[in-house]
Amino acid sequence: MTHQKNSPISRRTLLRSGGAVVASGVVLAACGGSTGNPVTRIGEQPESEPLSDAKVDDVVLLRTAQSVEKMVADILSDSRITSVLSGEKATLVAAFAVAHQRHVSNIAPLVTSRGGEPVNEANAKLMTAYGNTVLDLIGESKEQEDALTAVLGLETLVAATYQYSLSLTVEPALRADMMRLGAQSSRHAAVLAQLKNPGTKGFAPGTDEEGNPTVATLPTAFGALNSVQIAIGPPNEVGLRTNVLMDTPSLNSLLYVS
């Protein structure tokens, strides 16, 4: 007869072992063999709708170009710009604004002939990103030089928009149309560059009298692909103006066809 106290497995040991086995089983059940969500949640999980595939075709590029042309036409015609310009500079910028509005009309038949709906509104995304900021800063500084800097940056941006769209355009004939439109903005930028920095200074980036970088440059081809940065607005406590980064339309600012 074996005494209980000499048994290698006592009741307490058995209970402890059994508890450990049960606990281990719970852990293994929670961690292994499950393909569901391990995070506990209350209620039903809503079904997510997959994002629709947005197609960037020629109509989307044309409509986006219209919105950019309209945006620049509106900015150049805004009283915060026109009120600080005088003489030949005012006449020149007014002519540029008319040219951009004319481009909006010229693009319309290109859109309709391809089954699209033309637009005659400024690109809302780009206005929020930098257009409104440019106008507000010029309204605060009330300086002609700031207005000219902004117009030069915008003309360079329009040319860059067409150059970017050109690489995505399918129809060869349409690529030619876009090149012609972009070349006009490139010429505008060249004229403004010479107006701001006459002579060879207008052919390469440099700095103004305060040491701020200028965008007075003749773009290669008919528009640079990089972002355009301008320094405008009232100087801050250390004498520096606000840097505004302006970029061409991207996936979130293209005017897709619904």
Locate the domains of the chain by residue range: 60-246
Q: Exposed e or buried b for every residue in 31-41, given b needs 16+ CB within 10 A?
A: eeeeeeeeeee
Q: Whole-number mean pLDDT of the chain?
A: 80
| CATH number 3.10.20.90 given to 60-246 | no
Q: Give the whole-angstrom CA distance, residue 169 versus residue 151.
A: 27
Give the pLDDT score at 63. Answer: 96
Residue 123 · residue 255 · CB < 8 Å: yes
Count how many residues are written for the chain: 258
Residue in 186, 187, 163, 159 with CA at minimum distance from that of residue 175? 163
Residue in 128, 73, 133 with CA at minimum distance from that of residue 103? 73
Q: Give the whole-angstrom CA distance, residue 181 versus residue 32.
A: 63
Q: Report pLDDT digits (tens) over 72-120.
A: 999 999 999 999 999 999 999 999 999 999 999 999 999 999 999 999 9
Give the pLDDT score at 237. Answer: 92
Q: Residue 15 — pLDDT band, cuts 50, 70, 90?
A: very low
Give the pLDDT score at 41. Answer: 54
Which residues are 246's β-sheet partners?
A: 228
Residue 110 · residue 65 · CB < 8 Å: no
Structure tokens at 156: 């360079």
Q: Residue 201 — pLDDT band, cuts 50, 70, 90?
A: low
